[in-house]
Amino acid sequence: MASAEIERLIQLLAKLPGLGPRSARRAALHMVKRKDHVMDPLARALTKAVARVTVCSACGNVDTADPCGICTDPRRDPTVLCVVEEVGDLWAMERSAVFRGRYHVLGGTLSALDGVGPDELRIPSLIDRATDPVVAEVILATNATVEGQTTAHYISDQLNDAGVTLTALAHGVPVGGELDYLDDGTLAAAMKARRMLHS
Amino acid sequence: MASAEIERLIQLLAKLPGLGPRSARRAALHMVKRKDHVMDPLARALTKAVARVTVCSACGNVDTADPCGICTDPRRDPTVLCVVEEVGDLWAMERSAVFRGRYHVLGGTLSALDGVGPDELRIPSLIDRATDPVVAEVILATNATVEGQTTAHYISDQLNDAGVTLTALAHGVPVGGELDYLDDGTLAAAMKARRMLHS
């Protein structure tokens, strides 16, 4: 039996997504065996992050500054807003390095069942930002799920006469995807949105 | 892109066993979104553990006291020593709650290839402890692998005239195990060690 401190550590690790009680124990063991090289740096990094991490009041991103690094970066195009559900989606978008505008993180999707209305998400502040004359385009990049598309639909209704161009991510075959393994909905969307190669 | 603090946290998390870059990112995201309920308690638990965790100089267990809680527990039988490879094996043994003696953690197995000799493991101190007149039995509970069995064999040679009873864990069919899925070695061992039910 491990000491109370280690048991507590295991309990907390087991609450992280992707870690169960067994792997939390394994991770804790790995750490106590390499205290100086693994456990101590992680403890310091976490303590630092706890002290510094904050939510950007402009876009909802998570950063150590408010407004966040993206909102204050002068090289980023202020005329385009990309609307995503969660910070993880923003990170994914940044990894693809294809978008150079700014973001708006909703913080979830509309859900009548869970009592999540527009005011529980960052939809009012999105409408404020979208009506700023600087903003020319709002890209709806919510997930291609029922909830994500419902939320996108609601936002597009709200921004109908905001004087901005509204766009959405394309549906289609994922790069590297095999037709045989794709769902019918994706195939149908890809077929409907087929591109002209030459005529 | 997340801030430098979060990127560092992700990097460190990704080094834990069972977590890759993707799941480390997911865990970090989970934490920054629940700073007060997940990240802060984990940071505190880790900092506390770093400050307190130490290796027991008697048995090699990891604990917040030296000698560890098991070595100093007066209810534990000082006449039986259970020799295990790693602290994780000690934890597993304690979970089964079947052993009430004390432990000796070797810290690995002998390996000519990796240059691990008896002095790299806690074998000299095991021989010291085993020759203590209080100790009556040494149970070799190394893993049932080639390395574990080689190490057990070496120890049994060393303790040949130490005046203690040497025992080893039984081999056999695991509880809940199906014969069809067992390897031949286990089946052969279980057959050889078959128990008398009645005669």
Report field, pTM of the whole predicted structure over 0.90:
no
- Taking the Cβ of residue B63 and every Cβ of chain A, the question of whether any pair is shorter than 8 Å is answered with yes
pLDDT over threshold 70, residue B199: no
Give the CA angle between residues A16, B42, B70 to the nearest 5°. 100
- Summarised one tens digit per residue, pLDDT across range B62-88 is 998 889 999 999 999 999 999 999 998
Q: Do A32 and B23 touch (CB under 8 A)?
A: no
Q: How would residue A132 be classed by pLDDT, with cut points 50, 70 and 90? A: very high
ipTM: 0.73
Nearest neighbour of A87 by CB, restricted to B33, B46, B94: B33
Residue A33 contacts B, CB cutoff 8 Å? yes
Predicted local distance difference test score (pLDDT) of residue A2: 65
In total, the C-beta contacts within 8 angstroms joining chain A to chain B are 157
- Subunit contact A39:B50, Cβ cutoff 8 A: yes
Interchain CB distance below 8 Å, A65 and B91: no
A5 touches chain B (CB under 8 A): yes
pLDDT of residue B46: 92
- What is the rounded average pLDDT for all residues in chain B? 89
Q: What is the dihedral of CA B156, B161, B165, B167, to 10 degrees?
A: 10
Find the CB nearest B41 among A12, A62, A94. Answer: A12
CB atoms within 10 A of CB A156: 14
Give the DSSP per-residue string, A123-183: HHHHHHHHTSTT--EEEE---SSHHHHHHHHHHHHHTTTSS-EEEEPPP-PPTT--GGGS-
Instruction: Look up residue B35 and give its DSSP letter.
Output: I
Each as own residue / partner, the long-range contacts of residues A10-18 (CB below 8 Å, 24 or more positions apart, any chain) are: A12/B38, A12/B41, A12/B42, A12/B45, A13/B42, A15/B38, A16/B27, A16/B30, A16/B31, A16/B38, A17/B23, A17/B26, A17/B27, A17/B30, A18/B18, A18/B19, A18/B23, A18/B26, A18/B27
Is the pLDDT assigned to residue B2 strictly greater than 70? Answer: no
Q: Is there a contact between B39 and A47 if contact means CB atoms under 8 Å apart?
A: no
Q: Assess A182–B contact: CB distance below 8 Å, yes or no.
A: no
pLDDT tens-digit readout, B166-188:
998 888 888 887 878 888 888 88
Contact A50 B39 (CB under 8 A): yes
